[in-house]
């Protein structure tokens, strides 16, 4: 039995009340135009599996407790620490004693480490199995990329899967750091005792002290899985709307401008997102009348294409600095 009280630390219902599914999405990526020192940058996209190649059908979530995170982000953190040591070494030059030499091996090790893992990350990201969960809008299934003991059903990808109706999202409170409690959503099979390995913690943005972000996240999933409606008109699906048949038909009847969200820079999208978040913070999630979904965003927002980030020398310098000092592709 699902608890209809949004504010309870329990199962969140599959309903939509705030009806805003907006989240910023970088639509005009410059990384593909300027790869910098990451020569294998394109490898990840070439090795993508079906669930990554069809975002109009699959919504993929990386498990917050996946060991692949440490493999992928560990070298980046180590590279940042080495860069900090390099910076301290350079700033310490004025206080060197007479005859003391600068330790050149520190920056050499730092840049070598970052450049090596910079090009290794696309390889590991492409081949290391990830602990993921994905929602299949078309088949109304939820798949798992890792083994689930007791699960017999398999989807067309050969992965363990369950019916969407049997998947729930819990709102729970955990210690995010010593002495501080925060809200997190975790997804599992409704019979968690029978399928304990289906439990995955989801990473939500912003302040975990506010359950609002958990509500907003789950509403986005619930709305995505509602295949009786077209995909919500938000930047996340801008490049894939024509691939979803109900959405393509709706857009045609709705006289939707072509590539509407492509005129919005990431910064402008963030401003819109922050506006919605302020409204969500004051929304009565328990008793308020559900908001009406915005189906014609062009009547509410106007793009400012002049704010879209361009491939300038400043962008290139920033990208090279991140690659050299942190090993970020």
Render pLDDT for 179-229 as a digit per residue (tens, 0 to 9).
677 788 899 999 999 999 999 888 777 656 778 889 999 999 999 999 999
| In-domain check, residue 297 | yes
Per-residue pLDDT at 89 exceeds 90: no
Per-residue pLDDT at 8 exceeds 60: no
**Cα–Cα distance between 111 and 115 in angstroms, integer?**
6
Q: Give the model's confidence band at 14: pLDDT under 50 very low, under 70 low, under 90 confident, else very high.
A: very high
The pLDDT score that the predictor gives to residue 246 is 94
**Cα–Cα distance between 16 and 226 in angstroms, integer?**
11
| In-domain check, residue 49 | yes
Q: Give the model's confidence band at 73: pLDDT under 50 very low, under 70 low, under 90 confident, else very high.
A: confident
Compute the residue count for the chain: 329
- Per-residue pLDDT, averaged over 119-125, amounts to 79
Range of the domain at 207: 11-326
Lowest mean pLDDT among 48-57, 64-73, 105-114, 141-150: 64-73
**Cα–Cα distance between 5 and 287 in angstroms, integer?**
9
Lowest mean pLDDT among 15-29, 42-56, 227-241, 262-276: 42-56
The DSSP code sequence of 46-93 is HT--HHHH-TTTEEEEE-TT-THHHHHHHHHHHHHHHHHHHHHHHHTG
| In-domain check, residue 100 | yes
Read off the tokens for 278: 């302020």
Lowest mean pLDDT among 180-184, 233-237, 296-300: 180-184
What DSSP designation does 116 have? H
Per-residue pLDDT at 301 exceeds 70: yes
The pLDDT score that the predictor gives to residue 44 is 67
**Cα–Cα distance between 320 and 329 in angstroms, integer?**
9
Angle value at C-alpha 251, between 250 and 253, nearest 5 degrees: 65
| In-domain check, residue 6 | no
The pLDDT score that the predictor gives to residue 94 is 82
Read off the tokens for 131: 């602990």
| In-domain check, residue 286 | yes
The pLDDT score that the predictor gives to residue 1 is 34
The pLDDT score that the predictor gives to residue 51 is 87
Per-residue pLDDT at 3 exceeds 50: no
Read off the tokens for 157: 């990808």
Q: What's the Cα-to-Cα distance from 232 to each of 12, 135, 272, 319, rounded to whole Å? A: 21, 16, 15, 32
Give the number of domains in the chain: 1
CA 328 to chain centre: 17
**Cβ–Cβ < 8 Å for 35, 113:** no
Query: Which residue, chain included where needed, has tokens 């077209």?
Result: 230
| In-domain check, residue 267 | yes
Per-residue pLDDT at 59 exceeds 80: yes
The pLDDT score that the predictor gives to residue 292 is 94
| In-domain check, residue 1 | no
**Cα–Cα distance between 18 and 276 in angstroms, integer?**
10
The pLDDT score that the predictor gives to residue 45 is 64
| In-domain check, residue 317 | yes
**Cβ–Cβ < 8 Å for 98, 89:** no
Computed over every residue of the chain, the mean pLDDT equals 86
Per-residue pLDDT at 173 exceeds 50: yes
The pLDDT > 70 percentage for the chain reads 90
**Cα–Cα distance between 206 and 217 in angstroms, integer?**
11
Q: Give the model's confidence band at 249: pLDDT under 50 very low, under 70 low, under 90 confident, else very high.
A: very high
Per-residue pLDDT at 93 exceeds 50: yes
Nearest to 25 by CA among 193, 265, 228, 307: 265
The pLDDT tens digits of the residues spanning 17-36 come to: 999 999 999 887 788 888 88
Per-residue pLDDT at 4 exceeds 50: no
């Amino acid at each position: 039995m699902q608890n209809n009280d949004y504010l309870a630390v329990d199962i969140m219902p599959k309903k939509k009340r705030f009806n805003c599914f907006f989240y910023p999405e970088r639509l005009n990526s410059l990384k593909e135009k300027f790869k910098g020192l990451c020569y294998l940058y394109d490898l990840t996209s070439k090795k993508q599996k079906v669930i990554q190649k069809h975002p109009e059908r699959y919504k993929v979530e990386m498990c917050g407790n996946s060991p692949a995170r440490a493999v992928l982000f560990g070298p980046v953190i180590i590279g940042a620490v080495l860069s900090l040591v390099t910076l301290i070494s350079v700033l310490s030059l004025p206080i060197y004693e007479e005859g003391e030499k600068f330790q050149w091996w520190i920056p050499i090790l730092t840049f070598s480490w970052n450049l090596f893992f910079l090009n290794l990350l696309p390889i590991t990201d492409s081949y290391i199995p990830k602990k993921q969960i994905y929602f299949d809008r078309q088949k109304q299934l939820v798949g798992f990329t890792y083994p689930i003991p007791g699960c017999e059903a398999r989807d067309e990808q050969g992965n363990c899967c369950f019916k969407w109706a049997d998947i729930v999202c819990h709102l729970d409170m955990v210690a995010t750091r010593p002495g501080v409690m925060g809200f997190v959503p975790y997804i599992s099979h409704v019979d968690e005792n029978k399928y304990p390995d289906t439990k995955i913690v989801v990473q939500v943005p912003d302040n975990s002290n506010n359950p609002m972000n958990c509500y907003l996240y789950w509403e986005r999933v619930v709305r995505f899985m509602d295949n009786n409606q077209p995909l919500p008109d938000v930047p996340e699906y801008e490049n894939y709307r024509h691939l979803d048949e109900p959405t393509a038909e709706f857009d045609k009847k709705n006289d939707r401008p072509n590539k509407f969200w492509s005129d919005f820079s990431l910064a402008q999208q963030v401003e819109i997102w922050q506006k919605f978040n302020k409204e969500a913070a004051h929304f009565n999630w328990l008793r308020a009348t559900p908001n009406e979904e915005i189906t014609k965003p062009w009547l509410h927002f106007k793009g400012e294409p002049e704010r879209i980030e361009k491939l300038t020398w400043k962008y290139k310098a920033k990208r090279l600095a991140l690659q050299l000092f942190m090993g970020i592709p």
